Structure 1
Amino acid sequence: MAQQTLEVLQSTDLKPKPDSSELAFGKYFTDHMFMMDYAADKGWQRPRIVPYQPLTMDPSAMVFHYGQTVFEGLKAYRMSDGDIRLFRPEENFKRMNHSSERLSIPPIDEDLMLDYLKELVKLEKEWIPTEPGTSLYIRPMIISTEESLNVAPSNTYTFMIILSPVGSFYKEGINPVGIFVEDEYTRAAPGGTGNAKTAGNYCAAYKAQERATANNKAQVLWLDAIEKKYIEEVGSMNVFFKIDGEIHTPVLNGSILEGITRKSVIELLEHLEMPVQERQISMDEVIAAHEAGTLQEVFGTGTAAVISPVGSLQYKDQDYVVNNGKMGETAKQLYETLIGIQTGRLKDPFGWTVMLEA
């Protein structure tokens, strides 16, 4: 895809910015958004930054009927000197193309999209909160727009990026959360779309989340679809276990999303010379480790929460408290290191951050 001129239409009706103390996850949105269109005979075209606005779409637009859509999530942080940092954005666009391939959506030019994203974030830099625990959440997405009820890939698409200043993903903040182990409903199966970031994966999880909420738990721990035995993900995050001094996480098996924070945590653990294994982990093994006193920590990893410590696991009507319900030292170290790199308080020895000058 060749470089195209980016059209910028600035809003003349700027919104008041929310107080940082009021920020939740995905509640407020900035003044502008990025859009680009695809047609089978023209490719991706018309890159533009426009005022944030509702979409006008035909009721027959294929996204409404067949769910052909992918999305991503990443963050921007603003430094004390005004400069802006993005965390591994190239990995997000790489994963977006992986998801698109699975959903039969045409690929984007990853380098160009990163350039367009930088321009959008720079335009909206005053929306980036600076208080600890806050950031600017970035949501790229592609939706199918062809006006047809034909059960086939769409011939037209719209790519968009919207921005949202956010606080903590969980109301509990960084404090440990309770997790409900789901042994009835299934998140994904091998050969399905579990390793793609697509909308249907998330609404299919609502029923299990209702069960978790009814049991006063914050999230769901998913087991495999075939035997309901092996651990896959926790909510919309990857999951790690510290057992007898070693860190373990489920191996990518085709039904687990390849998290960018997961990848960063593994690389960071290896850098810190802390043992980490990617392998198949059964729930029975985790319970046995708990009973033996060797289950030291459980934590989730994801863009929204970064590191989310788990204080308890409810499995078959029994609660298993982890680390006395407190955040473990490994989770704390990983959180502080990742946040430090993302916000510029710590050096980035990995080259993960992308700098945008103010």
Structure 2
Amino acid sequence: VEQIKYYTDGVGTSGSKLRRYLDGATGFGLDHNIVSAYKFLVWNFVKGDEIYLFGFSRGAYTARSLAGMIRNCGIIKNNDLSLIDQAYNYYRRRTELDWAPNGEKATAFRERNSFESRIRFVGVWDTVGSLGIPLSLFRPYNSSKYQFHDTALSSYIDYAYHALAIDEKRSSFTPTLWIQDKKAAEDKLNPQVLEQRWFCGVHSNIGGGYRETGLSDIAFSWMVEKAKTAGLGFEADFLKRYVAPNAYTGKLYNSLIFPFNITPKAIREIKQDDETKQSIDQSVLERYYYDASYRPPMLTEIIKSIETDGEKSYWYPKPANNGPFPPKLMR
């Protein structure tokens, strides 16, 4: 089966040094990325195609926004650019009753102009609500235009997976988790799958933003396996050659560098919650037992639960990840 791919550079990662700084500080360019990806779908989509979306950080914002746009507006049946721009503007108004996914105007727009399509898979790494913008100078602009508040997981998504960084402490990088509707999870014909899993490392450790990739390859491998299960194909030789997960000694970077070292800090919250379906990756526990210096504060109660209750613990690693949790590491 042919797999047609589209990739866009992340905001603040290309262009001149000044352009990278300004885009990174403001989030400018996100609208363009979302609309460009939507155009690609409009020009290439054939009814019956399966859609897989992936993104890290601001790319996660883009992927989740694109999924929301598809739900609100469908996929336009022709390449009329004015309709594409209209669709994005209508998506931006989704908080208005008429333009919500099931609202009268949104429904009428889809019926007139679009294919309706489910989204097979959305895989994201560390979606951050404020887009990681640390400078108060840009906060009013950021909050009004790009702040990510769309936490509800659309019922049109079949599989949703979110890799999260357990060691990130920057307050402007607070993660935005999905919240799942109970009806979607319990749908008898097409039950929706959601998992949001915590991994060792800071934001770019799990998203692949550093030269050393031992930790990011863990989260990447997890996402690959989930996407394979959903039906996506990968080049096995490439994965074997370039992907090398390392839970024990993979470099854990410090993200508290200027200007973040002078901004407020925040410990990320991990909780047992049926709406968000959080889990702890086995590699986090392996690192905890292998490295006595690795002691994330939020893990204390989780480790106690695992040591006391074993497999009955909510946080006991799921065998589907890396196999059963090695008992010898529990000693």
- TM-score of the two chains, using structure 2 as the length reference: 0.27
- Structure with bigger helix share is 2
- TM-score of the two chains, using structure 1 as the length reference: 0.25
- Structure with bigger strand share is 1
Q: Which has the higher contact order (CA 8 A, sep 6+)?
A: 1
